[in-house]
Structures are given as C-alpha cells and as structure tokens.
Amino acid sequence: MGLFSNLILRRFKGVAPRYEEIVRAYKEFLLTEEEFAIPKIERIMIPLDRYSEHPNETVLEYLSSYPGAQILILYVIDGEVCRLIRETIGEREAELFRKRELERGHNMLKQAEKLISEIRGGFSIQSKLKTGNKAEVVEGIVDNFELIIISRHYGAETTKTHPVSPIVLRILQNVKIPVLLY
C-alpha cells in the first residue's frame, strides 16, 4: 500500500459504523435511491404577466439542463380586470386596457423567446397569449407539462412581508408537478 492509501485508511478508520448509525438516525431526511435520479423533463411551461420578471440567468441555466425540451411561454391577461374596467369606466377604456395589455404581452413573449433561444439546447419554443383568471389558466393546461417555471411576482405585486404573490401560492397548492420559482 502506498502512503496515500495508508493516510486515507487512517483518516477514515472507524467511520463506517458511525456512517450507518447516522443513516439510521437521519433516514427521514436523506434522499432515497429513487430521489437521487434526475427526472426527465420534456415539456416546460413559463407563465408571464404584467408583474412577472423576465427569466433570469438562473432560469436560463436551469433550462439548459433540458436540451430539446418543448417550452411554452404563456402570457396571461387578467380577464377580471378587463371586466371591472368595462363595468366601471366603460367599454372604450376596457378596450384601451386590453389593447395595451396585448401589446405588452407580445413584447414580453418576444423578449422571453429571444432569451431562451440564445441558449444552446435546441428547444422547441411556443408562445401563447390568453385572457382569463391567471391561476385558472395555468392550472387548466398544466396537465400537458412536467415543470412550471414561474416568477414569484406572477399575478400580483409582492411585498417584504409577502415575497410570493397569492396567485403563485394558489398554483403551488393546486398543481401536482414540480414548480420552480424565480
């Protein structure tokens, strides 16, 4: 045996019984063999709205882990706000609001598509613009996806006391697939 082997054996002498004791004591907190495996993700949804931030560096780096994935970038206009504007101020103002939101949505979708397409990964990127209840729209189409990447500001402004918007919290509680917050 060489010098290094002797050093390693001396350094870790008596560790094996202690290791098994630690594994038994903390088995509820340690990952199982199945949990160590990285799930294969082929379809990813990225919902955006007027409050959302663009996908940041971390999100783009994470996306690069799934080359060839199908990505849906979805911009959702709040249908309830459109209805309230129509009922309180009038049809003309509601149409003006809707037009501005459509323009904002198209711009955000283009920017997000550009950011994601700059990553090398051969992604299939699709973008959609929808109007409706922001949580219901996401929850309605989530069955076709394996991962949601969502801004913690999606659906509403956040505060220091509430760092995640209530709509994002609702989505987290109602979907059964992994959600990545940024």
Please, which residues bridge with residue 47 across strands?
Answer: 74
H or E element: which one contains 78? strand 70-78
Order across the sheet with 70-78: list the strands.
124-132, 70-78, 43-48, 147-150, 179-181
Position 1 scores a pLDDT of 58
pTM of this structure: 0.76
The one-digit pLDDT tens for each residue of the chain (182 residues) are: 577 777 777 777 777 778 778 878 888 888 777 777 777 899 999 999 999 988 999 999 989 888 899 999 999 998 888 888 989 998 899 889 989 999 999 999 999 999 999 988 789 999 999 999 999 999 999 998 999 999 999 988 877 778 899 999 999 999 999 999 99
Domains of the chain, with CATH numbers? 38-181 (3.40.50.620)
